[in-house]
Structure formats: structure tokens, C-alpha cells
Structure 1
Amino acid sequence: MLERQWSVAANQRDLHGSEQDSEFIGIADIISFIRQRIVLIMTFPLLGLLIAAFYVATTDSVFTARTQILIEPKIPQLLQQQSGEINLSLDTSQVETQLAVIRSEKIALMVIDELGLMDNPNFKHMNSPGIGERFHRLLKVMEDATASGEVSQEEPPQAPLAPAGKAQEVKNPTPKLSEFERRRRVVETFQASLAVQRVGVSYAIDITFKYVDPELAAEIANATAAAFVREQLETRAAAAREGVAWLEKRIEEVRTQMNLATQMTQEFRAKHDYRVGRQLGAAIVDGEVVASGEGEGVTRGGPTLEELEVTADTYRKMYESLLAAFTSSVNQQPYLIADARVITQATRPLVASHPRKKLVLALGGLAGLMAGVGIAFARHTLDRTIRTPRQIRDELGLECIGELPPVGWLRSFGRLDDVLRRPASLFTRNLRSAKAAIGLAESAHPLRCIGITSATPGDGKSTVASNLAALYATSGVRTLVIDADRPHSTLTKRLPNSPAPTGEDGHSGEQIEGQIMRVPGMPFDLLPSTASDAQRLLIASNMKAAIHQLESYEVIIVDLPPFTSGLHGMAAASVLDGILIVAEWGKTPVDLAAELSRILQVTKASVIGVIMTKVRRLSIRQYRKRAAQTAY
């Protein structure tokens, strides 16, 4: 059979290529996938760019001001210690402690009070605007762009866009807050915009502040660094003052006690010094202390002279030590300096740090591209329509002998006489290539009667039949076209000056040759669907008899009904020399076409191959490229 010969030749040609290609995805498959889904793939990146541009256009620009300080914790000790005792080490916990101090509410309150941020109406929390506010801003930007250069003198200048959340505050005013609540909100806003971090493993600390106003952001960043330095000085000064005050109080107490002890010693010596000396001498002579009643009261009931002298001397030493410490503290007060100093002042940032327009647009386009590829891949996976010649080989076991493109934007497919109107068009060239492929198959088996069918109506089989017949006729071959598609009668309706279908068998008694018409402007003859014998030709025996009666025609092309119109049209396929299946690109279901191929094989019809219609130009170029690669 023709089909077996054609399939065997195709299988031998693709023995080492197609079977392996069906298991692996190559670069050609990827390029083919991109070309088929290029519109869908590129739509989503454009949509992502539009969404990103909408986000950028409706988001407040945030500026980041940065200042830098350097921690030098050993400067005060450097002024006090000897050079051999200086230790300039600094561990991580000390640096983290300084970071915590900068982030503390004490520093925040110092900056807020210094700059008067509580009374600044522009210092508000940077809320992200809602979708309604974003559209309002977009309309505002569009109105400003339209009215640029045409501002009326009578109309006052319009106010700039309010920060995020400001419009909602005007429409929905918040209840009046207490002083404490206002202060807490300002502190929270301040801390949310402040960022403090260590620069690597160095002693430098970055202080950054983000806000919509670049001038205010720089001012707050500098004020924060200054407040930190000032807080250290104030803390050290307060500690020094407390130490001096404590020393003064302690010196006064020790001095009072020292004077009292000295006075008691002097009084004791003045009153009891001689008597005590005589009693002590008598005790030495006699070996025991002989004390009078008054002496016994002194030695046993009160302190001795030695005790009073030791007490007075102790208080004197304590007083001298405290006085020396007080003198040292007073002398060191002029050297109270902070452990940190500012090494970089914050200046007004010229470029917004958020949103990063280029990055947002790039991410939007990339996200759209990923979404487009994902959706295109999902559609490609779920798509069960015929799109590629390889798909026809794999799914139907047939060869695609031609791909016919759409002729124009206004027509979904070509005219019935397109090969005559535009003989140099891509449509004509591809159909001529399909005719040549039929000629190659004809070398093994004569193809005089060719049936053309499709899986569904509207696939373009009548157009293929008419133009293919025109190609045969213009090459000098006497050609007849039989419109056996009675349910649709496309050829009978559309060919010029052909009789309209009446549904009556007005020519039932005439021979089939007498019902054939000559179509004006066309090089072939037509047996319209209105002829009485046209419907009966769908019976295999009638078709076989008609072929013998039409021996004067070298080529007979039969426009068979589509597969969905019923199986009655498939009965005559077995007596025809070959069957062409027409499938519409991206519309004909693979399963339905496979079922049509199976039915034709059951009826022992010889299937020549498949012609795809309405194929996009990119698919044709890809097919030509693959055909050239196969040839080499």
C-alpha cells in the first residue's frame, strides 16, 4: 500500500534522528517553542514593566542621608596613664553597646527636642500608599504632564503630591492625640527611619536616616551623631560632678572626725599626761600597776593616750588621701572628652535610595518574563492541537508534506484561486512543494484519484482542493474536482458562476459526464454537490464506477466531508488512490486527527500525508531550516 511505502521511507530516513529527538529536547525544540509562543511570552514582560512603572510613578522617593562616627574609647585614659600602661583594645561587646546607645530612645528624644520634630508637620510616618491612592497619584501625574506649559493665570498653582497616607488623613482625620501619644509616635517614626551599623570590623559606625525630604534626612542624621557625642560628654561630666560632690562631702566628714580626734587627744594629754606617766613608773617598779581610784577610771573606763593618737593619725591620713583624690578630680575635669568623634558629616542626598527605579523595572520585566514562559509552557503542555510536523509524525504516524500560511490579515486563509492570482506567493510555493511530494509518492503507485478530508470543518480542505487542482490543471493535466461535501458545499457556493445547491436531484437521469460544469476563470472542471451523483459517490461501489466513467480526466480531486460530519464520507476513501488530511495549525485537535487516521487505516485507505493550513510564517521558516539540516 501507498501508506506503508511512504511510512517505511519516512521511518528509514528518521531512524537515527526522530526517535532520539522525541526523547530529548534540543535547541531546535526550544527555538520552535519560543517562536510559537512569542506573543504570549512577550506580553507578560511588558505587563510586568507596566506594573513596575506604575509602582515607581506612584511611590514616594525616599532619600538616605549618611553620617559616620569613629569610636575611640581610650582617649581619656591616654591623658591619665603612662605610655607603658595604655591599652587601646576594643571588643565587640563595647561596640555593640555603643550601637545600642545610638538606637536608644534617649538619643531619639534628644534629636526630637533639638530639631522640634514634634511641631514639624512634615515629619510623619512613611506609610505605603494604598491602591486607590496610587491611582489618584497616577491621574495627578498625567494631569500635570498634560497641563504643562498651559497653566492658567487665574488658577492658583496646585499643591505637590502629599506623602503616602496624607490624603487618607485629610479625608479621614484622626482623633486628637495626647502629648504623650504624639511623642511616642514621633519616636517610633524616628526609630523606624534610623539605621545604625558597624562598618566591617572597624571602630567606625554608620548612621543613616531615610526620609522623603533630603534636607531633613541629612539634618536628622547629623543631629543624631552630635547627640551621641554630646550624650557621652554629658554622661562623663555628670559622673565627674557626682564624684567631686561625693569627695567634697566625704572630705568634710573626715575632716570633722579628724579635728575631733585631734582635739580629744590634746585634751587628754593636757589633763592626764603627767599622772599617767607616774602611775606607769610605779607599775614598772613594783611589777604591777597600782592605780588610785581616779587612775583606775582612766585606764579601765576610757581610751588611752595611744588609742587617741592612733585614731587622730588615721583620720589625718584619710583626709590627706581624700584631699589628693579631690585635687586630682578637679584637675581632670577640663580633659573630659567623648569616646567618639564624627568623621563624615551627612549632606543632602542628590539621588533617591528608594524606589530603585532601574532595579524595580528590571525585576518587573524579569518576573513578567518568568510568568510568561511559565504560562506559555503550561499552555504548550496542555495544548493538544497540531502545530509542528514532528508532532504529526509522533502522534499520527504520518508525514507533513506541506505547511500553508495565511494569505493576508483580512482573510483567515487563501482564496480558491490564490495560486492563479499570486503564483509567486509563499502560499503557492508551499502548495507546489506539497504537489511535488505527492508526485514522489506517485512514483511507487499511480495517484489519479486523490481525496481530501479533514478532522473538523473550517480547516481549509476546500481551499486546498481548489488550489491543488488549479496547479495540476495549469501544468497541462486535465483535472476534475468533485464537491462531495454535501453538508457544507464550499466549492459549489464559492466558485464563480456555479449553481447554488438546491437539495433536489434534478439531474437524476443524466450521466455523470453531463453534470460536470466548466468553472469560468478556473482551469479545472467541477462536479458540484447539487448533482445527483455527487452524494451517491460517497458509496464505495458508486465511486469506483464513476472513476471508470471519468477516464478522460487525468487527475480527479474529491473534496470529502470532514470527519466530524460522520463516517459515511470515509467509505469512499478506500477506492481512492490516496487521501490527503488537512489540519489547521493550532486548532485541529491531535486526538481527533489521530482518530481520523485510524479510521482511514481501518478502511484500508492509502493516506499520502498531512497538509497544515494557516501556519504562521515563523513556523514555516523553522520547518525549512530543519528540512535543510536533515538534507545535510
Structure 2
Amino acid sequence: MTWAAMTRIDTGGTDGAERAPGMLPHDPAGRDDELARLARTLLTRWKLIGTVVVLVTGLAVLGLRQLPPTYIATAEILIDPSQAQYADLADAGAPRQTTVWPTELETYMKVLWSDELAADVVNTVGLAAFTKEDPPWAPLKAWVLELARPLLPHLQDLAVSLGLPAQPPLLALDADPDASAARPGETALDKAVTVFREQLVVGRESLAAVIEIGYRAADPELAAKVANATAEAFPRELIRAEKAALSASANYLGERVTALAQELQAADAEAQALRRRLSDFGSGSLNERRYAELLKTLSEAQAQLVNARNDASLAADRSHGLNERFTTPQMKELRLQETDLARRLAELGSDLQAKHPAVATVRAEQAEIRARIRAEEEGIRQQIASEEQLRLAKVAWIEGELQAIEKELALSATDQLQLKQLTTRTDSTRLLYQDILTRYQRAREQQLMVRAPARMINAARVPAQPEGKKRLILLGGALLGSLAAAAGLVLLLELRRRGYSSAEELQRTTRLPVIGCLPAVDRRVWGGRIEGGRGFAQKVYGEAVRRAALRLMAGRRSPQGTAELILVTSAKSAEGKTLVSLSLGRQLAGNGLKVLVIDTDLRRQSLTGHLQHLVLPKADLVALLTEPVAKPEEALVRDERFGIDFLLAQETSSDPARLFGSPAMAGLLAELRTRYDVILCDSPPILAVTDTVPLVPLADRVLFVTRWQDTARNLVEVALDEIRLHGGRSCELILNAVNLRKYARHASSDQLAHFRLSASYLR
């Protein structure tokens, strides 16, 4: 099987036709998928990733072993709002709260971080238990500082060499950071409170109103003691806060009661004075007596109206139900029936399932009783509303009668009006005074009956085993973090890499065959025999050139008896195409072929510069193209050591592209094809100048040279697109200047990656 058949590449076309090896694909956009490339990079660099993960995880294990064992004890508190509502005298008949919302539970949990509770626990347990205990990370910190101690002088020297300021001085590794970080005026109690908060662990059950209070310490007995002390201090703190709120409310209500009492006393004195002035007037005519009676009646009606409005306001509040004083005998009977049904339902619920017929019957009766209670409450509300309307109509009627009598009265109208207004205002103030006085007395009573809405249901026990969950979390975090960091570093390096790392990657990305993978060699061997050098890399280079030459000739496309014209180019300069041209020419000549190497780089003349050991002829390539009388024999020079001919360029041209695109160039190449077997054209980079463009359609094959891990991918893609655009018929690739020591890490299916297997043959 020939090399051409072995290197056949599928273009991925929809028509199913196969493309000849080396032919440029019609779809230049069919590049290697970026995500697939990154995934392959992760798979190929698994050793580096594994090494980083093992090192970081090992350091994490060593660090965790330096941590002393810590114990955590947990106590549980149940939040029960009904425990604190029995002393609420404002709405004795209102339904009690039995559900704790998550927001309320979070509010209760905030109390555990208050200064008052922390100070209470510190004083209960003892200040020394918090101030003398070292934090659990102190041994780990000391171990890290001990390891870093030898590096401190080097860090200081590095800072000086970088020009960093010498002040402030570096902190000594054995210094106490707590002493330098202490705040001015910080007391022992403040420090103890800080330690308590750092070690406190607060959580809650997701489906229950239960708060878990845990404390972490090196001493298991201390952990249990502090957790229980915190659970006991929590209800006390709630009671203290509730009493403080009730005390503030009582003080405010007391101030209001005193102010209203003084206002009523002044109003009564003013009313007595007005009544004394109107006493004679009140014993006169019938209208005057009628006016006095109506005033009295109006005061009573207004007072009754105020009471009716208060009753209507209380009855209209449906969130708390009707007040106890509005309850009728029928309502009391219905409530007793509801209580009896609730008791029966509780008894049945303890013995029977929820879907039992008896339970369903009791629940139906309970629903019926509740509906009747709501209907009875609605009737009472309507009756109270009707009573308010009647009181309002009565007040309106009396006021109308007074207005009619006032028109008839001519004497003491001003005093009578003032007395009326004063009486009305006084009655309203008196009602407000009674209401606030009642609330004040209730607030004072509630201060003596406050109970906390929380109680401890499970006390903390002394833990027998140290806490291990945190260590596992830290170890897992170190494992995952190191894995992510190593993978991210590998991906970052891969994204920053410009060129190709292996022949397999270059061939897969460009969809073109790679006929040669050449190692990097010393430039000084260009003038001599490369394969005869002393260095091992040079010997490997010679074998790689022989392999590339055999593959090159296996894919020969020119007819028999005609030289195959091979154009050697690259994307940019310094790719090593001149060395590749020279090496392949010498190797092909050594295989018995008649080889001609043409220097078509008229701008730099790289090939000519490396053949200074030969006697150069007077004519050159430029002379053959510009002087009709010049003959090829006058410009050819032969290297007898290798049996290879050269057509050099000793003169420059202002427009090389015009010369190469002229009929003279085509005629010259046609004539040279009849004399040689292989013609290699060392051309300039195709992206740098346009000199190579006219030579692309004249060549049978294009040999594209790219530098290992140096030539950018986009440059290679653009250069290959340029070759295809200008009529390139066939193209093969050469991966040049490969680092032998690093190449095996990136390639596994290429012969050069296993160069050490031939070490015994080449040394």
C-alpha cells in the first residue's frame, strides 16, 4: 500500500466522494471544534491534573491532621406562641396563634446573636471558659508558620530586589496576631462575647418550629455546658425583651392617663361655672326648661352614640372575632358545643385514622356548629350596626330640636353653646380616658404574667465523638478546588497556546496530510551534512527527513519523465522552510534523483546566503527571467558533495510577483522540468508578500511548513485559504522545529514521539 493510500482523508462532504490526499478542502471553515480540542487537552494532560490534585489534597490532609479534635453539642428549643398568649387580656375571645411562620422563626434566631444573651451566657458559664481556650486552628497556624520560617529571609530579599518599601517591617512569624489586632478599650467581656459568637452554631428544622443551638469547643463537657446555658438563656432573653416592650407601653399609657385626667378636671370646673350662670335662666319659661332638658338628653345620646360606635368598631374587626361582652346565650351554647366537638375529635384522632367515618361525622358537626357561630356573630354585628344608626338618628333629632329652640332663645345663647360643646367634648374625653386607663391597667398586669414563647425540649449531651463533618467538607472542598484549579490552569495554557502541538492535531485541524515532523537542530549544521552531525537530535532529524522524503515521493503526481515542481512556503518568516528545502533536496538527491532547488525568495535570498561555500555563477534567476540571451546552464551551480543543483538569486527585484507571473518564468520551469526529477522552490511566506502567489498555480504540490507551538492557528488557516484561492492543487504539511523532550507529552500516534526507541540505533 502506498503512502498516498495510507494518508487518504475524508473531507466530510455530503456527496460521499473521497478527496485525494493532499487536496485542499473546499470548505475551509471546517476547522477543529474548539470544545473538542479543550476536552482532548484535559484528557492528554491528566497526569498534570492528577499531580496537582494529589499534592493539594495531600497538603490538605496534612493540614487537617494538625487540627485538634473539636466537639459540638446541640440543644433543641421549641417555639410555641400559644404559651405567651394566655396573658393577652385585650382579646380573650380571639383565636390564638398556633403557627410559626419562617420569618418569625428567623427573627427568634436573631435573638441568639444579641449582646444581652451573649453576656448572660458568658456570666453564667464563667468568663475563663471563653478567654483561656485557644481557637481550634491555633496548632495548624503554628505548624504553617514553622514551615514558612526558613522562607522569611528570602521573601525579605525578594521585596528589596523588587524595590518594595522596607517599612512597615514584615510581621514576625512567631508574633501574636491577636495582640496586634486587639481593639483599643476592648474588655475581657467583649473578647469572651466574640469567642462565644465564633463558636456558636445556630440552625433550625425545616418542617418544625424547632431551633437547634450548638456550641463547638475542644472540651466536650464545655460544649454541652455552653449549649445548655444558651438554651436556658434564650427564654429569659425573650421575657426580658417582652417586659421591656410592655414597660415602655405602660409608661406611655400612664402619661396619657395623667394628661387626660387633668383635662377632665379643667373641663368639669368650666362646666360648673357655666351652669351657675345659667341657673336662673333654667327656671324660667317652658322653652328654656325644654332647652336644658334637650341638652342633657343630647349629652346622654352622644355618650350612647360613642359607645355604639365603639361597639360597632369592635364588632367590625373580623380578624379577632366578637368581644366577650357581645356574646349572647345562644352564642355561649354554640361555643360550648364547639368545645365539646373539639374534645371528641381529639379523642377520636388518638384512636382512629383521619378518614374514619366517626371522625368525618364529628368534623362535619364541627363545621356546622362553626357555620352557626359565624351566622350568629353576623346577626349580632347587624344588630350593633342598627343600634349605632338609631343612636345616630336620635342625636341628629335632638340636635335639630336644639337648633329650633335656639332660634327662639335670645338670652345666654353664647353660654349655652359653650356649655353644650364643653359637655360633648368632656364626654368624649371621659370615654377616651376610661379606654386608655383600662389599657394601662392591662399592660401593668401583663408585666407580671409574661411567659416566653419558647421552651427547651432536648438538652445538650456531652458528645462522645469529635466532629468530622467539617473535616470532610474541607477535604472535599480542597479536592474539588484543586481539580477545578488544575483543569482551569490547563485550559488557560491551552487557550494561550498559539500553534500546533502535534502532527495529529495539525492534520485533524487542517484536513491535510502531514508528511513530516522534524525536530529542532542547530542552525550551524545548515552548511554541512545534517544527518552526519554529532548530536542525537541531529541524527533524529536526519531520520525524520528521510521519512518525509519517502512520503513525499510516494505521493508523486507529475507524469513520468517530467519533474515534479514542489513549492515550499510558510505563513510567516522564521518557520524553517529554507532548512526544509535544503534537507529534502539533499535527501532526494541521495536517493538517486536529479534534484534542483530554486531560491525564489528575491527579497531575502535565504538559500543563497547559506551556500556561500559554493562558487556562485555570474548569472542567476533574475537574469534568466529578464535577459533573453541568458541560458539555464549559466546560472546553475552544483554541490558535488550531495549531487544537487541550485538556481540561486543573487540580485533583487522591485516586483518579484511580476517576474514570477511572466511567461518567462513558465517557460523556464517547463524547460527545467525536462532535465530534473524533482524541483523544489524555496519561496517567501505567502502572507508576508505576494511573491509566492504566481508560483502556486505553476506548482504540482505545495509543501507548507509551520513551526511547532509557534505559528498561530489563524495564520495557518488564512495561509491555506490563500493557497486554495490561488489555485493550489495539492498541499502537504511539515511540522518543523519540534522539541523532542516535550513532544511526547502532546503526541502519541506519531513516530517522532517515540524517538527514544531508536536511541540504540542512532548513538
> The TM-score by the shorter chain falls in which range?
0.5 to 0.7
Aligned counterpart, 1:456: 572
Correspondence 1:578 to 2:701:
yes
> Structure 2 stretches of 5 or more lacking a match?
1-5, 19-24, 79-97, 154-171, 238-454, 753-763
The 1:474/1:562 distance shift into structure 2, 3 A limit, reads: same
Q: Following the alignment from structure 1 to structure 2, what is the Cα–Cα distance between the partners of residues 420 and 223?
A: 85
Residue 580 of structure 1 aligns to a residue whose secondary structure is strand
Q: Following the alignment from structure 1 to structure 2, what is the Cα–Cα distance between the partners of residues 168 and 447?
A: 85
Aligned counterpart, 2:485: 368
Correspondence 1:439 to 2:551:
no
Q: Following the alignment from structure 2 to structure 1, what is the Cα–Cα distance between the partners of residues 457 and 15?
A: 80
Aligned counterpart, 1:467: 583
Aligned counterpart, 1:543: 665
- C-alpha displacement at 1:472, in angstroms? 1.2
Which of residues 65, 70, 79 in structure 2 aligns to 1:64? 70
- C-alpha displacement at 1:577, in angstroms? 3.6
The 1:482/1:117 distance shift into structure 2, 3 A limit, reads: same
Aligned counterpart, 2:519: 406
CA contact (8 A) 1:194 1:210 kept: yes
- C-alpha displacement at 1:68, in angstroms? 5.3
Post-superposition Cα deviations, 1:234-292, rounded to whole Å, max 9, x if no partner, equal 99xxxxxxxxxxxxxxxxxxxxxxxxxxxxxxxxxxxxxxxxxxxxxxxxxxxxxxxxx
Which of residues 559, 571, 574 in structure 1 aligns to 2:682? 559
CA contact (8 A) 2:702 2:731 kept: yes
Stretch deviating more after TM superposition (499-508 or 489-498): 499-508
Aligned counterpart, 1:517: 637
- C-alpha displacement at 1:591, in angstroms? 5.3
Which of residues 158, 183, 194 in structure 1 aligns to 2:189? 183
Post-superposition Cα deviations, 1:517-571, rounded to whole Å, max 9, x if no partner, equal 34365342333433799x8984644434444267443222121122244223433
Correspondence 1:621 to 2:739:
no
Correspondence 1:359 to 2:359:
no
Which of residues 193, 200, 216 in structure 2 aligns to 1:194? 200
CA contact (8 A) 2:567 2:680 kept: yes
Q: Following the alignment from structure 2 to structure 1, what is the Cα–Cα distance between the partners of residues 718 and 725?
A: 10
Q: Following the alignment from structure 2 to structure 1, what is the Cα–Cα distance between the partners of residues 526 and 125?
A: 78
Q: Following the alignment from structure 1 to structure 2, what is the Cα–Cα distance between the partners of residues 437 and 206?
A: 78
Aligned counterpart, 2:166: none
CA contact (8 A) 1:194 1:207 kept: yes
Which of residues 623, 633, 650 in structure 2 aligns to 1:530? 650
Counterparts of residues 81-230 of structure 1 (less than 5 Å):
108-109=118-119, 111-113=121-123, 116-117=126-127, 121-122=131-132, 140-143=146-149, 165-166=177-178, 168-169=180-181, 174-177=183-186, 183=189, 186-196=192-202, 208-210=214-216, 214-215=218-219, 218-225=220-227, 227=229
Q: TM-score, normalised by structure 2?
A: 0.46
- C-alpha displacement at 1:485, in angstroms? 2.0
CA contact (8 A) 1:70 1:203 kept: no
Counterparts of residues 235-274 of structure 1 (less than 5 Å):
none
Question: What is the total number of aligned residue pairs between the two structures?
Answer: 464
CA contact (8 A) 1:194 1:208 kept: yes
Q: Following the alignment from structure 1 to structure 2, what is the Cα–Cα distance between the partners of residues 137 and 160?
A: 11
CA contact (8 A) 1:386 1:584 kept: no
Q: Following the alignment from structure 2 to structure 1, what is the Cα–Cα distance between the partners of residues 693 and 584?
A: 21
- C-alpha displacement at 1:481, in angstroms? 1.7
Residue 573 of structure 2 aligns to a residue whose secondary structure is coil
The 1:565/1:106 distance shift into structure 2, 3 A limit, reads: closer
Q: Following the alignment from structure 2 to structure 1, what is the Cα–Cα distance between the partners of residues 199 and 716?
A: 65
Residue 581 of structure 1 aligns to a residue whose secondary structure is strand
The 1:515/1:414 distance shift into structure 2, 3 A limit, reads: closer
- C-alpha displacement at 1:202, in angstroms? 11
Aligned counterpart, 1:568: 691
Post-superposition Cα deviations, 1:44-88, rounded to whole Å, max 9, x if no partner, equal 99499769969996999585322356899xxxxxxxxxxxxxxxx
CA contact (8 A) 1:61 1:354 kept: no
Q: TM-score, normalised by structure 1?
A: 0.53
CA contact (8 A) 2:567 2:683 kept: yes
Aligned counterpart, 2:592: 476
CA contact (8 A) 2:568 2:683 kept: yes
Aligned counterpart, 2:613: 497
- C-alpha displacement at 1:221, in angstroms? 1.3
Residue 402 of structure 1 aligns to a residue whose secondary structure is strand
The 1:377/1:570 distance shift into structure 2, 3 A limit, reads: closer
CA contact (8 A) 1:405 1:617 kept: no
Amino acid at match of 1:458: A
CA contact (8 A) 1:407 1:414 kept: no
CA contact (8 A) 1:44 1:368 kept: no
- C-alpha displacement at 1:603, in angstroms? 5.3
- C-alpha displacement at 1:490, in angstroms? 3.0
Post-superposition Cα deviations, 1:409-454, rounded to whole Å, max 9, x if no partner, equal x789999854565897377347625643553342667543322122
Post-superposition Cα deviations, 1:192-222, rounded to whole Å, max 9, x if no partner, equal 42225579999999754235xx24xx35313
Q: Following the alignment from structure 2 to structure 1, what is the Cα–Cα distance between the partners of residues 718 and 699?
A: 19
- C-alpha displacement at 1:610, in angstroms? 3.2
Residue 209 of structure 1 aligns to a residue whose secondary structure is strand
The 1:103/1:344 distance shift into structure 2, 3 A limit, reads: farther
- C-alpha displacement at 1:185, in angstroms? 5.3
Which of residues 392, 411, 428 in structure 1 aligns to 2:543? 428
Residue 358 of structure 1 aligns to a residue whose secondary structure is helix
CA contact (8 A) 1:45 1:372 kept: no
Aligned counterpart, 1:151: none
> Structure 1 stretches of 5 or more lacking a match?
1-5, 73-90, 129-133, 148-158, 236-337, 626-632
CA contact (8 A) 1:454 1:563 kept: yes
Q: Calculate percent identity across the aligned residue pairs.
A: 18
- C-alpha displacement at 1:476, in angstroms? 1.0
Q: Following the alignment from structure 2 to structure 1, what is the Cα–Cα distance between the partners of residues 507 and 462?
A: 72
Stretch deviating more after TM superposition (444-453 or 195-204): 195-204
Amino acid at match of 2:701: G
The 1:394/1:122 distance shift into structure 2, 3 A limit, reads: same
The 1:339/1:376 distance shift into structure 2, 3 A limit, reads: closer
Q: Following the alignment from structure 2 to structure 1, what is the Cα–Cα distance between the partners of residues 637 and 198?
A: 89
CA contact (8 A) 1:540 1:572 kept: no
Residue 748 of structure 2 aligns to a residue whose secondary structure is helix
Residue 71 of structure 2 aligns to a residue whose secondary structure is strand
CA contact (8 A) 1:51 1:364 kept: no
Stretch deviating more after TM superposition (465-474 or 489-498): 489-498
Which of residues 727, 731, 734 in structure 2 aligns to 1:611? 734
Q: Following the alignment from structure 1 to structure 2, what is the Cα–Cα distance between the partners of residues 598 and 340?
A: 79
Q: Following the alignment from structure 2 to structure 1, what is the Cα–Cα distance between the partners of residues 38 and 707?
A: 22
Residue 166 of structure 1 aligns to a residue whose secondary structure is helix
Q: Following the alignment from structure 2 to structure 1, what is the Cα–Cα distance between the partners of residues 201 and 43?
A: 49
Amino acid at match of 2:637: M
The 1:434/1:168 distance shift into structure 2, 3 A limit, reads: farther
Stretch deviating more after TM superposition (220-229 or 50-59): 50-59
